[in-house]
């Protein structure tokens, strides 16, 4: 996507803000657009479009990004004040809603942060008498209230109160005694009730429900889409009130979708795993390109092997050598960690089965993968962790 396309892409995101279920299906793609927009905030059209989209997200109580991994990988980008501050200014230029000010300091990635206190003071002094004075006063006061006591900040507030009627009004309750039953007491009570309502809001139920999503995925698998398995695994992570997908472990039997399924649905899941292994897509070079990063697609085949071994051993034993040869890379490279060492024997048995069924492919790929991991980081060789039983 080119920078010139971003305003149109952001316009599309804006229309999806109220469609909660679409966000679940496409959250990685939507987050990618957001990341690209942050990288091009120096473009005026992109800045305006992102501000408009952010306002719409805030109206529906959405974070700007759903995927926590994406947020972590781009932490420096989202922390950059040279990007955050122009975006905050544009948002407040376009929206004077009180809710917008709250979301600026609370939604992820946080656009206004504690280190912006002095900057907000500068914006407040520049806006006195204008339409945005109230917004900047509200933001400055919020940062003050949620920070550790600091004499320099108290001094800033006193300085601001001397020149800004809006910050005077915002801070009045803290600088003036409150009489019970007075208008000030009423305002304080209303503010408390507004804050409490935000924390006590009933969580929304997913639509479609996790059960319906799983049923739809199984239907698609049974009607000629075996590759739906890897997307279907993400749906299995959802609870009735989830706000984002969870991590997909190698043992998917720990997921809510499996634990809450009846025996008939579990049988259909096992059949979907078998179909994926036999006919699903394969990218054997992925682990050489990126040995130490992965997503649910990259480990989906291994999850299928694992669940069949545990829950459908006859189906597992019937998998032919050609299937094992297709998935040698995933068997070797799908990672398990120290916390999973209780399952070490199971992982080693899967690797042994692959070695027995596709020996030449196994040895050929193992050699290539060892070289690839050594080139990237010789201290992080991991493709040999399951080889404890692979001895002739």
CA dihedral angle for residue 228, residue 234, residue 240, residue 242, rounded to 10 degrees:
-140
Assigned domain for 278 exists: yes
Distances (CA, A) of 105 to 35, 40, 63, 116: 19, 22, 11, 10
133/232 same-domain check = no
Asked whether 105 and 139 are in contact (CB, 8 A), the reply is yes
152/218 same-domain check = no
Does the pLDDT value for residue 131 go beyond 80? yes
For residues 233 and 217, give the distance between their C-alpha atoms in angstroms, rounded to a whole number.
Answer: 9
Look-up of token digits 């297709």: 326
Distance of CA 239 to the CA centre of its chain: 16
How high is the pLDDT of residue 339?
46
176/304 same-domain check = no
161/72 same-domain check = yes
Assigned domain for 343 exists: yes
196/336 same-domain check = no
User: How many percent of the chain have pLDDT more than 90?
Assistant: 56
Higher pLDDT, 163 or 69: 163
How high is the pLDDT of residue 25?
52
151/173 same-domain check = yes
The per-residue pLDDT for range 346-378, each reduced to its tens digit, is 999 999 999 999 999 999 999 988 888 888 766
For residues 224 and 219, give the distance between their C-alpha atoms in angstroms, rounded to a whole number.
Answer: 9
Task: Residue 32: give the domain boundaries.
Answer: 3-200
Token pair, residue 61, equals 């109580």
Assigned domain for 113 exists: yes
3 state DSSP class of 384:
coil
How high is the pLDDT of residue 337?
63
Assigned domain for 55 exists: yes
Which among 282, 281, 293 has a CA at the least distance from the CA of 373?
Answer: 293
Token pair, residue 365, equals 């790929």
CA dihedral angle for residue 321, residue 322, residue 324, residue 326, rounded to 10 degrees:
160
3 state DSSP class of 133:
helix
3 state DSSP class of 8:
helix
For residues 366 and 360, give the distance between their C-alpha atoms in angstroms, rounded to a whole number.
Answer: 10
How high is the pLDDT of residue 244?
85
DSSP 313-371: HHHHHT--HHHHHHTHHHHHHS---GGGGGGHHHHHHHHHHHHHHSHHHHHHHHHHHHH
185/240 same-domain check = no
Higher pLDDT, 388 or 203: 388
For residues 82 and 77, give the distance between their C-alpha atoms in angstroms, rounded to a whole number.
Answer: 10
Of 114-118, 202-206, 275-279, 379-383, give the lowest mean pLDDT range. Answer: 379-383
175/221 same-domain check = no
Assigned domain for 304 exists: yes
How high is the pLDDT of residue 338?
47
158/299 same-domain check = no
Contacts 24+ apart (CB under 8 A), 347-350: 347/250, 347/385, 347/386, 348/386, 348/387, 348/388, 348/389, 348/390, 349/309, 349/389, 350/302, 350/305, 350/306, 350/309, 350/386
Q: What does pTM read for this prediction?
A: 0.53
How high is the pLDDT of residue 29?
80
- 204 contacts: CB under 8 Å, gap ≥ 6: 20, 241
- 210 contacts: CB under 8 Å, gap ≥ 6: 235, 236, 238, 239, 240, 242, 256, 257, 260
258/374 same-domain check = yes
Assigned domain for 114 exists: yes
CB burial of 276-313 (b: ≥16 within 10 Å; e: otherwise) equals bbeebeeebebbbeebeeeebbbbbbbbbbbbbbebbe
157/258 same-domain check = no
Of 45-49, 141-145, 270-274, 371-375, give the lowest mean pLDDT range. Answer: 371-375
Over residues 325-339, the mean pLDDT reads: 83
Boundary residue ending a domain (200, 227, 257) = 200
Boundary residue ending a domain (151, 178, 200) = 200
Boundary residue ending a domain (158, 182, 200) = 200
For residues 361 and 324, give the distance between their C-alpha atoms in angstroms, rounded to a whole number.
Answer: 9
CA atoms within 13 A on the CB side of 354: 31
Token pair, residue 42, equals 């120096």
165/236 same-domain check = no
Ranges of beta strands (E only) in 102-180 are none
Number of H helices, E strands in the chain: 24, 0
CA atoms within 13 A on the CB side of 356: 12
Higher pLDDT, 99 or 353: 353
The per-residue pLDDT for range 6-51, each reduced to its tens digit, is 999 999 989 888 765 545 456 778 889 999 999 999 999 999 999 9
For residues 113 and 105, give the distance between their C-alpha atoms in angstroms, rounded to a whole number.
Answer: 6
Number of domains present in the structure of the chain: 2
Assigned domain for 205 exists: no
């Amino acid at each position: 996507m080119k920078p010139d396309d971003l305003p149109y892409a952001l316009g599309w995101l804006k229309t999806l803000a109220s469609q909660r279920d679409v966000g679940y299906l496409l959250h990685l793609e939507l987050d990618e657009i957001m990341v690209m927009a942050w990288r091009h905030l120096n473009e005026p059209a992109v800045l305006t479009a992102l501000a408009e989209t952010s306002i719409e997200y805030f109206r529906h109580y959405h974070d700007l990004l759903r995927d926590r991994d994406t947020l972590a990988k781009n932490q420096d980008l989202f922390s950059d004040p040279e990007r955050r501050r122009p975006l905050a200014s544009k948002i407040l230029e376009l929206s004077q809603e009180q809710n917008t000010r709250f979301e600026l300091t609370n939604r992820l990635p946080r656009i206004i942060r504690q280190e912006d206190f002095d900057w907000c003071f500068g914006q407040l002094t520049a806006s006195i008498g204008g339409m945005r004075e109230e917004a900047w006063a509200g933001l400055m006061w919020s940062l003050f209230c949620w920070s550790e006591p600091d004499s320099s900040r108290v001094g800033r507030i006193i300085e601001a109160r001397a020149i800004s009627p809006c910050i005077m009004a915002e801070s009045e309750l803290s600088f003036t005694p409150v009489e019970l039953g007075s208008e000030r007491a009423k305002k304080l009570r209303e503010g408390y009730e507004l804050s409490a309502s935000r924390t006590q809001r009933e969580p929304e139920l997913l639509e479609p429900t996790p059960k319906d999503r799983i049923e739809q995925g199984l239907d698609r698998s049974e009607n000629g889409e075996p590759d739906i398995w890897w997307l279907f695994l993400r749906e299995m992570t959802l609870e009735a009130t989830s706000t984002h997908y969870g991590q997909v472990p190698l043992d998917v039997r720990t997921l809510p979708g499996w634990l809450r399924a009846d025996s008939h649905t579990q049988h259909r899941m096992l059949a979907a795993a078998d179909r994926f292994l036999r006919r699903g897509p394969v990218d054997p070079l992925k682990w050489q390109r990126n040995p130490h990063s992965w997503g649910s697609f990259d480990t989906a085949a291994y999850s299928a092997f694992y669940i069949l071994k545990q829950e459908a051993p006859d189906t597992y034993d019937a998998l032919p050598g050609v299937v094992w040869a297709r998935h040698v890379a995933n068997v070797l490279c799908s990672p398990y960690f120290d916390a999973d060492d209780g399952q070490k024997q199971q992982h080693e048995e899967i690797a042994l089965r692959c070695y027995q069924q596709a020996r030449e492919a196994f040895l050929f790929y193992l050699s290539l993968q060892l070289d690839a991991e050594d080139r990237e980081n010789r201290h992080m060789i991991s493709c040999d962790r399951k080889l404890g039983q692979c001895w002739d």
